[in-house]
Amino acid sequence: MSQSRDISRFSRSLEEWIAMQKVMLENFKNIDARVRNSDRLDIIIHTRLVFNHMMRTLKAFDDWLQDPFISSNIPRELLLEVWSTSLELAEELLKLDVKHTSEVRNIIEKAAREGQLSPMLAQLKDLGSQRGEEKERRGPAISI
């Protein structure tokens, strides 16, 4: 296959990705008001949709930077822009994680002190951690 045909196919693929990303951006913007007025489950589901798309995009960026064809043709200035923006995103994500995890820890500890945790859910959580299913983020089992 000729180089011009390969470049043309590659360019079309990039155009499709760009179009899909623009559609996703608009979709997320359009559902924001509805999600803000919805119940907890809907908020969780939509947040997970956003997280999943972010992970897909991050994976695509990582793949992109590993591709010698791409990395050898990207100007240094564009790479620095990607670095700077990535650093800003990481900083915001880490701030969100520290804030959210701290708040959840405080809420759980307060509920445990006040006897407001569901004993059934606490027992299920303890059983899961005993079987080694405790996830890194969840922290140690809470004694009630």
pLDDT of residue 54: 96
Q: What are the CA-CA distances from residue 137 to residues 50, 97, 105, 134, 141 (Å)?
A: 19, 10, 11, 8, 12
* pLDDT tens track for 22-43: 999 999 999 999 999 999 999 9
Task: Calculate mean pLDDT across residues 129-136.
Answer: 61
**Closest by Cα among 64, 66, 137 to 104:** 137
pTM of the predicted protein model: 0.76
